[in-house]
Structure 1
Amino acid sequence: RSQFEKVEGNRLYMKQDGKDIAIGKSKSDDFRKTDASGRGYQPMVYGLKSAQITEDNQLVHFRFQFQKGLEREFIYRVEKEES
């Protein structure tokens, strides 16, 4: 199970099975999940020119611009855990 934490520095932060996880564009052309130490998992998306992650009123927007010119936006509704 995953729990949303925050969006900061163009990355989405969450807890997944008790582990701290970040999701965002790597230094190369891919988009991937990393653990708390920054070690990357298998890339999720290749061929990216840029990726933006923003949060607005419980909606997280992923905006991808690909090297070949294609652009895509994915919008997810998230809930923050109540204290």
Structure 2
Amino acid sequence: MKKRTGRVQAFTFLEALIALLVISGSLLVYQGLTKTLFSHSRYLTNHDQDHWLLFSQQLREELSGARFHKVENNKLYIEKGKKKLVLGQFKSHDFRKSAGNGQGYQPMLFGLSHSHIQAEQSRIRITLHWKSGLERTFYYAFQDQP
């Protein structure tokens, strides 16, 4: 009978423990990131921050290239191309864009309790208050046009 003198390759107890620690650490990091992602998405759905971000981007795009006309009765009157537009909160909880004659409207933002529009020369400030308590202010300066 021959005696085996060669060593068999196998994991040691220490290597197995290190592998388990790495795997469990990876799973804990993944679980933590998942919880953070869900809490942020829950926050955004329960709060109006995401609506504000979208609204401010849309309004900035709408006002670029437009000419300031006036602010009257808490509404912003502008001219874009050959169209006259009115922006403001119309007896409701939404901020709308409509034609200069008041016909047709496009809601831009919902859930408002009240809003306030101020103008100083060609600079405007729109302050929005949501029913949820969020308050944001939008500033815009119209470019001088010939």
- Decide: shared fold, TM above 0.5: yes
Please state if 1:69 is matched with 2:118. no
Q: Which has more strand, going by share of residues?
A: 1
- CA offsets per residue over residues 44-82 of structure 1, 9 Å max, x none? 111000010001243200000001110000110124656
Map 1:2-81; keep pairs closer than 5 Å.
2-79=66-143, 81=145
What is the aligned-residue identity percentage? Answer: 37
- Which segments of 5 or more consecutive residues in structure 2 lack a partner in the other structure? 1-64
- Give RMSD over aligned pairs: 1.6
- Which segments of 5 or more consecutive residues in structure 1 lack a partner in the other structure? none
Judging changes above 3 Å, is the alpha-carbon distance between structure 1 residues 29 and 74 closer, same or farther for their aligned structure 2 residues?
same
Q: How many residues align?
A: 82
Larger Cα-atom Rg: 2
TM-score, structure 1 normalization: 0.86
